[in-house]
Amino acid sequence: MTIQTSPVSTPVQKLRALCALSNVAATMSVEGLLHTVRQAPDPETAVREVLRCVGATSEVLARKWRSTVVSLWATHHPHVPLLPSLALSSEEVAHVPMLQDAQAYLEEILCQPASLVEEQGELAVAEADVWRLAATMPSLRSVQTLPVESEWAHLPLRRLRAVLQALRLVRPVKGKLVVVRSRYERFRHFPATQQFYVLWHADTYHVDWGEFTGMWGRYTRVVQDYLPLLWDLGEHVQAHDVLDRQAWGVDVLETFLPLWEEEGLLEIGHGQAAILPIVQQHALPAILEKFLIIDMLQRHGLLTQEVTGGQPTLRWTTIGAKLFSAELTQELPCGLELLTP
């Protein structure tokens, strides 16, 4: 007895079926839709353009269109890894400070590798190149900074290098910091959404936060070790939601206090031994606010700072709402693996 199976539909066949189901032939041909998908810079832009053209009238139908369009886009861009749970377009992330700085930094290093010098047992970018590289970063051009003698005195620059080295986009070779061309070419041909994501993932999961928070490193390492608790704080966040900045900081503190206590970080001690822990804990809210809000979330475009009614507030962006939601699913891939063909 022979069992007959239905042939698997190709994305193009599914597109034709959806056109018939949605009765869109009168407004746009299948060939026209295919052209729209091919020309889109990323799958999310392709989905939005097609849905705008076809006007899907139900949520179920819109999901079918989304799935089909993403599959179609992928067939025309086989070297681009998909991020199905992160519905962001290249246009939405194009102006993220971290992304713009990384692109400029890589281009500058590609044109002229940076000299490295040994400082306290590690290789650091030489002073002259610190200023050269800082001058290329769009987020720093309008910021007046004092002369520095060490790369560590310019933390945004040092942290960006840590992110790029974690992604193996740059590496030290014979006293120079150089671009790893094969990985850079792959990164360069990614849509902006994928570029943004690999930078975010490396900065969040593969760069040691403790190295950039001084004497509060043990506290921030605990936060980094339990990041799902941080994502939980944004579980119901919507784009453009406004939050009281101080209240959100209190929520972060209350979330991680039990873990810090478990690690023994809240013990004060006696006599002179108590001075440092008291200073650390007193300054902890300000340190976390600076590191999480300014250096992390704002720099990656997840939120903006505002003043509402005379009080400091945070406004979540589309990026922030969608990225926190996607992180909560725990389905996002490792950014380092995306750069490995």
| Within-domain flag for 38 | yes
Give the total residue count for the chain.
Answer: 341
pLDDT of residue 271: 47
Look up the domain containing 117 and give its range.
91-204
| Within-domain flag for 317 | yes
Residues of the chain where predicted confidence (pLDDT) is lower than 70: 1-8, 25-28, 56-57, 142-148, 268-279
Tell me: do 308 and 186 sit in the same domain.
no
| Within-domain flag for 270 | yes
Tell me: do 105 and 195 sit in the same domain.
yes
pLDDT of residue 152: 87
pLDDT of residue 58: 83
Tell me: do 49 and 126 sit in the same domain.
no
**Alpha carbon distances (Å) from 184 to 115, 179, 194, 235:** 19, 7, 13, 34
The Cα–Cα gap between 165 and 202 comes to: 9
pLDDT of residue 266: 82
| Within-domain flag for 6 | no
pLDDT of residue 298: 96
**Alpha carbon distances (Å) from 300 to 190, 278, 336:** 18, 32, 17
DSSP 54-111: H---SHHHHHHHHHHHHHHHHHH-TTS---TT----HHHHTT-HHHHHHHHHHHHHHH
Tell me: do 225 and 329 sit in the same domain.
yes
Q: Total domain count for the chain?
A: 3
pLDDT of residue 49: 93
Tell me: do 115 and 197 sit in the same domain.
yes
Q: How many other C-beta atoms lie within 10 A of the C-beta of residue 27?
A: 12
The Cα–Cα gap between 122 and 208 comes to: 15
Domain C-terminal end among 25, 53, 78? 78
Tell me: do 234 and 255 sit in the same domain.
yes
Tell me: do 199 and 214 sit in the same domain.
no
First-to-final CA distance of the chain: 44
Tell me: do 231 and 287 sit in the same domain.
yes
Both tokens assigned to 327 = 């992180």
pTM: 0.91
pLDDT of residue 255: 95
**Alpha carbon distances (Å) from 205 to 4, 199, 227, 308, 327:** 48, 10, 9, 33, 12
